[in-house]
Chains A and B, each alone.
Chain A
Amino acid sequence: MVDTVLFIICAIVAIVCGFNVVLQRHPISSALSLIGVMSSLAVLYLLLGAEFIAMAQMIVYGGAVMVLFTFVIMLLNAGTEKASSKSWFAQIAGLPLLLAFVGVLAFLIRAVLPPLAAVAFGSWVGGTAEHIGQLLFTTYLLPFEVISVLILIAILGAVALAQKEID
């Protein structure tokens, strides 16, 4: 019972904040709404038994990435975005196509996938830091090392881009 209530609350918060991200005119409101989405997703990860991913979501996404975003938005003093003309195709067909996309995928999930499990909190605890660490440093050792090189390249790229003068 508590599972269902928690899921419904977090799902509603996630969807409302998601709409807010898209509809707000000011970037800082969008960024703060995105933090709401990420926090409620972290609760859902906990319900799915992914403890490590939930914590990483809060620290890496809700913490580091979003601090970077809000920092840049405030640094640039980004104002509300100006409304500009959209193509006639986007105005007419955009919303129906999007609803069709959601409808088709929801239908496929209900109809095509094999019978899905029911989620009960605590019935499977495979996602602790111990399990993740064991798999990360044995089976996925090479991707892990490659990703550390990627991070290094990203740091160097960010530094090089930020001080570059382009005419």
Chain B
Amino acid sequence: MGHVPLSWYLILSVILFALGVAGFVYRKSVITVFLSIELMLNAVNLSFVAFSYQMHRIDGHIYSFFVMVVAAAEAAVGLAIILTIFKNRGTLQIDEVDSMKL
């Protein structure tokens, strides 16, 4: 007692990832879909850090740092795309932006 098993951290990571997948698939607002992607990235970061603790190596920390950097870059470009879509279409619903649909 007093120590938390590492598997609890991994299961928390799984739950957060599943929530992100649910938001990504079910939501219709572009911004909420994007927020769900960030949730999934955070969940994966948690498992990186947890496994890093298990191995007592900090390579996992470096990977999660890189994930953060890529997420920041992705947020900048993605939000610029959302701004452009809104400027041209006047909507944020993903099922109304369907000009690439066959």
Show the binding face of A for B, using Cβ within 8 Å: 1, 3-4, 7, 11, 14-15, 18-19, 21-22, 27, 30-31, 34, 37-38, 41, 44-45, 47-50, 52-53, 56-57, 60-61, 64-65, 68-69, 72-73, 75-76, 78, 81-84, 86, 90, 94, 98, 101-102, 105-106, 109-110, 113, 116-120, 124, 126-127, 131-132, 135-136, 140, 143, 147, 150-151, 153-155, 157-159, 161-162, 164-167
Contacts and interface: CB of A to CB of B under 8 A. Distances in A.
Contacts of B21: 98, 101
Contacts, number: 236
Interface of B: 1-12, 14-16, 18-23, 25-29, 31-32, 34-36, 38-39, 42, 45-46, 49-50, 52-54, 56-59, 61-62, 64-66, 68-77, 79-84, 86, 88, 92-93, 95
Nearest to B85: A166
Contact of A119 (B31, B53, B71): B53
B54 to A, nearest CB: 5
**Main SS of the interface on chain A?**
helix
A58 to B, nearest CB: 11
A143 B11 contact: no
A53 B92 CA distance: 33
Given A22-B23, A161-B84, 11 more contacts: A1-B1, A7-B9, A50-B49, A65-B38, A65-B72, A76-B31, A102-B18, A105-B14, A120-B3, A126-B56, A158-B79
Nearest to B21: A98
B3 A119 contact: yes
Contacts of A30: 31-32, 35
A34 B31 contact: no
Contacts of A41: 42, 45-46
A98 B50 CA distance: 23
A22 B75 contact: no
A27 to B, nearest CB: 4
